[in-house]
Amino acid sequence: MRRDLSMDLIRVTESAALASGKWMGRGKKEEADEAATQAMRDVFNSIQMKGTVVIGEGEMDEAPMLYIGEQLGTGEGPEIDIAVDPLEGTNIVAAGTSDALTTIAIAENGNLLHAPDMYMEKIAVGHEAAGKIDINAPVIDNLSAVAKAKNKDISDLVVAVLDRERHGKLIREIRDSGARVKLIQDGDVAVAISTAFEDSGVDIMLGSGGAPEGVLAATAIKSLNGEFQGKLLPYTKEERKRLQQMGIDDVNKVLLMEDIVKGDDVYFVATGVTNGDLLRGVQYNQNISTTHSIVISSKTGTVRFIEGRHQTNGNK
């Protein structure tokens, strides 16, 4: 893929963040998501590439744009797979809380898991604990392994978990081990990636969340030399049929990094919409708006944090 593609991708997530950030705190998550989706698609279609959405807003009959299978770009240039979440954290934006992102991941054609819109059990860690975890192991075993790898006591570990009723048993097990729990209200992409940054204060993420978000997080974590494992959790006949269509006959199959993100030429890009541990949110001033983005390239091993200053029409 083109080495300068990252700057085009930043424009995509920045435009989505600037559009959706206007809805922060207004209690209207659908409007925020629509604004992000429209802005993201418009910029994508200006980029010299042959892009195919493999993770998007839904199937063709469910979403008007950025649907699975939609072709993006000018039709010239590299053939790439695109995973998008135009607004990771619609409820976050509506409520004005933290860690909402606009995010995309791209890889060469055929290299991203076409994860269906279902739940996925997940475990994510940074580079120190890579190779030391097992999604099928008891919670205490994984926490012990991470603590040993990071030269910490279990009592010093911080474990991020989505605050959901289904995680009640998991949370009790973590606390019984002596570790501390950081409950997330919505959006687990940012916190999963945070495990790969030593100063984030998060050592490991556990629990279930959206499978598409798992692919996005895994793309970034792979580029940061961390580890992500997942297991798809079908609850309906339709979801089980979707797994079979994907060639997954064993519902207990563990998806390792290479099952989710293949190859070594992958980009992950995100822009903050609201302030969070990973990125700052959009700031609107009279004629200048600022954005804070992250760009991760697996090919070069480069992580860039970029602050954008955008001239705006004062009447908007």
Is 275 a domain residue?
Answer: yes
Q: How would you write the pLDDT of the chain (316 residues) with one tens digit per residue? A: 666 788 899 999 999 999 999 999 999 999 999 999 999 999 999 999 999 999 999 887 778 899 999 999 999 988 999 999 999 999 999 999 999 999 999 999 999 998 888 999 999 999 999 999 999 999 999 999 999 999 999 999 999 999 999 999 999 999 999 999 999 998 899 999 999 998 899 999 999 999 999 999 999 999 999 999 999 999 998 888 888 887 787 888 999 999 999 998 999 999 999 999 899 999 999 889 999 999 999 888 889 999 999 987 654 4
Pairwise CA distance, residues 42 & 59, whole Å? 19
Q: What is the pLDDT of residue 5?
A: 85
Q: What is the pLDDT of residues 20-35, one digit of tens each?
A: 999 999 999 999 999 9
Same domain, 142 and 175: yes
- Between strands 158-162 and 180-184, the pairing is parallel
According to the annotation, is 41 in a ligand binding site? no
Is 316 a domain residue?
Answer: no
According to the annotation, is 164 in a ligand binding site? yes
According to the annotation, is 89 in a ligand binding site? yes
Q: What is the pLDDT of residue 316?
A: 42
Q: What is the pLDDT of residue 102?
A: 97
According to the annotation, is 33 in a ligand binding site? yes
Pairwise CA distance, residues 197 & 125, whole Å? 9
Is 145 a domain residue?
Answer: yes
Same domain, 80 and 153: no
According to the annotation, is 90 in a ligand binding site? yes
Same domain, 254 and 269: no
| Residue ending a domain, choose from 245, 260, 275 | 260
Pairwise CA distance, residues 270 & 179, whole Å? 30
Q: What is the pLDDT of residues 142-191, one digit of tens each?
A: 999 999 999 999 999 999 999 999 999 999 999 999 999 999 998 899 99
Same domain, 84 and 47: yes
Same domain, 139 and 70: no
- Token pair, residue 10, equals 């930043």
Inter-helix orientation angle 29-44/5-21, to 10°: 150
Q: What is the pLDDT of residue 300?
A: 85
Is 19 a domain residue?
Answer: yes
Q: What is the pLDDT of residue 3?
A: 62
Can you give the CATH number for the domain in which 236 is found?
3.40.190.90
According to the annotation, is 213 in a ligand binding site? yes
Can you give the CATH number for the domain in which 38 is found?
3.30.540.10
Phi, psi at 178, each rounded to 5°? 105, -10
| Residue ending a domain, choose from 242, 260, 278 | 260
According to the annotation, is 281 in a ligand binding site? no
Same domain, 32 and 125: no
How many structural domains does the chain have? 2
CA distances (Å), origin 73, targets 40, 86, 109, 263: 11, 16, 14, 22
According to the annotation, is 210 in a ligand binding site? yes
Same domain, 238 and 125: yes
| Residue ending a domain, choose from 260, 275, 300 | 260
Same domain, 167 and 296: no
Q: What is the pLDDT of residue 60?
A: 74
Same domain, 254 and 291: no
Task: Say which residues have a Cβ less than 8 Å from residue 259's Cβ, sequence separation at least 6.
Answer: 113
According to the annotation, is 119 in a ligand binding site? yes
Same domain, 155 and 215: yes
Pairwise CA distance, residues 84 & 25, whole Å? 23
Same domain, 223 and 290: no
Same domain, 141 and 208: yes
According to the annotation, is 57 in a ligand binding site? yes
According to the annotation, is 166 in a ligand binding site? yes
Range of the domain at 29: 5-112+265-311
